[in-house]
Structure 1
C-alpha cells in the first residue's frame, strides 16, 4: 500500500518508519527544508511517560487565576489574541477538570506514553540509534509541602497503572541530583520516576529519517501542502506546490496546523496551539548541572542534560499561531534554572519557541478520521510528542496494516469526542 504522511516532525517520521517496517511504500511531505524543524526542534528533551498528566485537572480554574496574576506564571494568556478557537479550547478544557475525567484522561495518557517508551527501547536495541539519550529517570521537584501532599493523588494513578515511582525527601533528591546541593533550602521533596528518560528529539528524528530513507521512504521537503482533496467518503489526493500527489492512504501529522488543513473538508479537530519556549545552553560545570532531567513544579519548567548542553523548557502561552520570542518568558526559564542549578552559560543560550498541538483532554488523537475511510490521524500530542512518538507511530502503522494493536487503541481516536 502507498501511504502519504503529511508532516516531517517526530510524529510524522516515526509513523513513516513503522509503516516502512511493515512493508508499505511511504512518502513524507513537509514545507521545511528538513525534518523536525518546528515543534520537534528544541523541546524540553524529556521522554516522560510517568509525568504524562493532563492539564485539565480538579482545581485548575483556581490555579489558573492565581497564575495569571504572577509575573513568572507557567500559564500566559494574551488578551489581545483571544479568539473563538481559543475560547472553544478553554471551554472544553474546563469541562475535563472533574476528578472522573482526570482519572480517565491520565490513564489513557499513561497507557500510550508507557507503550511508547517501550517502543523506543526496542528501537534503540534494533538500530543502535544515538541521540544524546540517557535512561536515568526524572525527578519532579517540590518547593512546598502543599505540592508534596498534592502528589499523592498522582501516585495513586501511577500505582494503578503499574508505573514505578519513588517519593523522595531532600537527601534522597540530592543522591540522584547532587547538582541541586546549593538549592537544598528551596526543596521540600520530590517524586522520582525511574522509567523516564531524556534525549535530543531533533537529533533522534534526523537519524531515524536517515534510516527510514534507507528503507525506501521518500521525503519531499520545501513542499507546501495546499489542500487535502476529498470526495464522498475518501481522500483522493493532496494538492501541493509540487503538484497533486496521490496514495492509497493518508496520515495527517501536522501538529498545531492539523485543524487548519482539515477545516475545508469539514472535519473538525479539537486541537489548539499552545506556545512553549526553551533555552539551550552550553555546559560549563558538571558538578552544578543536572545528571539527567528534573521538573520544577512551581514554574512548570523542565531542566534536562543533553550531552554537553542543558535544555530548559516550559511555559504554556495562548496566543494563537504567533511565534514571537517573548523576553519575559526567557526570564522565567532563567529564574527556574538559576534557583535550582548553575553550571551552564545562559548568556550563550539559544532561545527558541514552538507550538504544541494540545487537545482539551490531554490525550493525542491517534487512529482513523472517521469520516474519510483512507485518512488517518496522528496529532494532538501537546507537550508530549517526543514522549509518545514511537508508540503513536507503531500503533497507527498497525491499524493501517490491519494488525492487532499491542495496547487498547479505540479510545485514542477522534471518535471519543462524539461519545
Structure 2
C-alpha cells in the first residue's frame, strides 16, 4: 500500500520507519529543507515515560494566577481574540480535576512506556546513535511543599508498576554530583531510573537516513496546502508542487495539523504551546548534569547531551509565533545557573523556540478518523520525543489493519466526541 506521511519531525519520521517495516511504500512530505527543523529541532532532550504528566491538573488554575506575577514564570499566557485559543483553554480547564488527571496520566504513561521499549529495540537492531544516555531522570523540588505535592504522581506510578525513588538532598547530589556546587535550596527529588536522554534532532535525521536507505522517499521543501476528498475518502494532498496521491495518509504535522484537516470538517483540538531552550557548551564536566534534571519550580529540564547542556521548558500560550524574548532566556539561564553553576558558558549558548502541539487533555491523538484512509499522529505536546517510537509503531499497526500491542482506542480523535 502507498502511504503518504505529512511531516518530517520525529513523529513523522518514526511513523515512516515503522510503516516501511510493515511493508508499505512510504513517502514523507515536509515544507522544511530537512527533517526535524521545527518542534523536534532543539527540545529538552529527555525521554521520560515516568514523568509523562498532564499540564491540566488539579490546582493548575490557581497556580497559573500566581505564575502570572513571577519573574521566571513556567507558564506565560498571552490571550488574544482567538476563538481556537479560547476553546482550547476552556477544554483544558475542564481537565483540571483529579479524576481527569488520573485518566490522562495513565494514557500518557501507557504510550510513553511502550515507546521507550520500542526505542530500545530500535537502538539494538540498528545501532543508531544520538548522544544517548540511560541514567534516569531526577525531578528536583526546591521546597517542601513541592515535595509533598508529588503524592498523586507516585500513586499513578505505583499503580502502573513504574520504578521510582524518593530522595532527600543528599540523595539528589549522589545522583547528580554537580548539584553539590549549588547554593539553591533542595528539598528532595523523585528519580525515575528507567528514563533516558538523547538529541531528538540527531535521532530524527539518523533514522531518516536509515529509512531512506530502506526505500522511504523524503520530499522536502514542499508546502502542504490541504487535502482533497471524494465519496468519503481522501483522494490527494494539495502541495505547492502539485497534487500527491496515495492509498493512505498520515497527518503528523504537529501544531499545524488542525489547519491541514480543517477543510475536511475535522476539528482537531491541538493548539501551539510555545517552549524555549538554550544549548550551552560544557566548560567544566564535573559541574555539569549527568542525565536529565527537571527543575519543578520553573518547569525546566536540564539535560546532558554529549559536550552540551540542553536547557528547555516553559509553556507560553500565545499562538503561532517564534519570537525570542530575553526574559524567557533569562529564566532558562537562572534555572541551570543556580543548580549547576560554572558547568557551561551561558554567554555562548544558542537560543531557540518551538511550538509544541498540545491537546487539552495532554494526551496525543493517534489513530483513525471518519475518513477510512486518513490517520492522525499528532498532539504529543512536550512529549513528542518521549512518545515518538511508540506512536510510530501504533500508527503503522493501525494503518496496516493490525491490533497494536497496547490499548489505543482512547487515543483516537473520537474521544472528543
- TM-score bucket (shorter structure): over 0.9
Query: Where do residues 275-314 of structure 1 align in structure 2 (5 Å cutoff)?
Result: 275-314=274-313
The aligned runs of 1:223-238 (5 Å cut-off) are 223-238=222-237
- C-alpha separation between the residues in 2 aligned to 1:195 and 1:297? 19
Report the 3-state secondary structure (helix = DSSP H, G, I; strand = E; otherwise coil) of the residue aligned with 2:315. Answer: strand
Q: Is the 8 Å Cα contact of residues 184 and 338 (structure 2) preserved in structure 1?
A: no
* Aligned equivalents of 2:364, 2:7: Cα separation in 1: 16
For residues 340 and 83 of structure 1, what CA distance do their matches in structure 2 show? 38
| Distance across 1 between alignment mates of 2:13 and 2:260 | 19
Task: Name the SS of the counterpart of 1:51 in structure 2.
Answer: coil
Tell me the CA shift for residue 185 of structure 1: 4.9
Per-residue deviation at 1:182?
2.0
> Secondary structure of 1:190's partner?
strand
Q: Which runs of 4+ in 1 moved over 3 A?
A: none
In structure 2, the partner of 1:33 is: 33
SS at match of 2:389: helix
Q: Aligned equivalents of 2:347 and 2:184: distance in 1?
A: 26
- Which deviates further from its counterpart, 83-92 or 303-312? 83-92
| Corresponding residue for residue 318 of structure 2 | 319
1:59 equivalent in alignment to 2:59: yes
| Counterpart-to-counterpart distance in 2, 1:360 and 1:390 | 22
1:372 matched to which residue of 2?
Answer: 371
Cα distance in 2 for partners of 1:82, 1:176 equals: 47
**Contact 2:44–2:311 (CA<8 Å) still a contact in 1?**
yes
Q: C-alpha distance in 2, partners of 1:21/1:398?
A: 10
Q: What's the CA shift for 1:228?
A: 0.7
Offset at residue 332 of structure 1 (A): 0.4
List aligned pairs for 1:336-347, cutoff 5 A. 336-342=335-341, 343-347=343-347
CA distance in 2, matches of 1:57, 1:41: 28
2:187 is the alignment partner of 1:188 = yes
Residue deviations 1:74-115, cap 9 Å, x none? 000124x35211111110000001111011000000000000
The structural deviation recorded for 1:38 is 0.2
Matches within 5 A, 1:143-162: 143-162=142-161
Q: In the TM superposition, what are the counterparts of 1:362-401 in structure 2 within 5 Å?
A: 362-369=362-369, 371-401=370-400
Q: Deviations over 1:249-281 (max 9, x none)?
A: 000000000001111111100000000000001
Matched-pair contact (CA < 8 Å) for 1:82–1:319: no
- Structure 1 unpaired stretches of 5+: none
Q: Whole-Å Cα distance in 2 between the matches of residues 82 and 72 of structure 1?
A: 26
How far does the alpha carbon of each residue in 1:208-243 deviate from its partner, in whole angstroms, 9 at most, with x for none?
000000110000000011111112311000111111
Alignment partner, residue 198 of structure 2: 199
For residues 233-252 of structure 1, the aligned pairs below 5 Å read 233-252=232-251
Given that residues 103 and 157 in structure 1 are in contact (C-alpha distance below 8 angstroms), is that contact kept between their aligned partners in structure 2? yes
In the superposition, the TM-score normalised over structure 2's length comes to 0.99
2:202 is paired with a residue of what secondary structure? helix
Give the TM-score of the pair, scaled to structure 1.
0.98
Change (3 A) 1:184 1:171: farther
CA contact (8 A) 2:14 2:207 kept: yes
Q: Distance in 2 between matches of 1:99 and 1:217?
A: 44
Per-residue Cα deviation, 1:170-213 (whole angstroms, up to 9, x for no partner): 11111110000022651000000001110000000000000000
SS state at 2:278 partner: strand
Q: CA deviation at 1:416?
A: 0.7
Q: Does residue 416 of the first structure (1) align with residue 415 of the second (2)?
A: yes
* Structure 1, 266-275 or 228-237: larger mean CA deviation: 228-237
- Contact 1:359–1:381 (8 Å) recurs in 2: yes
CA distance in 2, matches of 1:26, 1:149: 49
Q: Is the 8 A contact 1:170 1:184 kept in 2?
A: no
Instruction: Note the C-alpha offset of 1:299.
Output: 0.4
Give 3-state SS (helix, strand or coil) of 2:92's partner.
helix
